[in-house]
């Protein structure tokens, strides 16, 4: 899969589900910055990371129990 193909797939998935970049990143367990880079074709996940992302995008129910939203540093500090 090329950077361009992955970017289009990711953008289509976000649009179909009406996710903001922040929401999509949280669903995929990555940073918003990574998601931005992927959508702008600057980079893309490799190996297992790519396989995991494709699985979540193509079959969101499969990952619903294993993917938990990441807490931001400020959210983690508030919990203390």
Smallest CA-to-CA distance from 39 within 15, 1, 6 is with: 6
Please count the other Cβ atoms lying within 10 Å of the Cβ belonging to residue 3: 14
**Looking at the whole model, is its pTM more than 0.75?**
no
Domains belonging to the chain, first-starting first, are: 3-79 (1.10.260.40)
Q: At CA 39, angle to CA 36 and CA 44, rounded to 5? A: 90
What tens-digit pLDDT sequence spans the chain (80 residues)? 899 999 999 999 999 999 999 999 998 889 999 999 999 999 999 999 899 888 888 876 655 544 444 455 555 555 55
């Amino acid at each position: 899969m090329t950077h361009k193909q992955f970017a289009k797939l990711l953008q289509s998935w976000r649009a179909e589900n009406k996710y903001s970049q922040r929401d999509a990143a949280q669903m995929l367990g990555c940073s918003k910055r990574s998601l931005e880079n992927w959508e702008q074709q600057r980079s893309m996940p490799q190996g297992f990371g790519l396989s995991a992302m494709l699985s979540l995008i193509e079959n969101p129910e499969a990952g619903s129990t294993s993917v938990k939203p990441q807490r931001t540093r400020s959210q983690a500090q508030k919990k203390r």
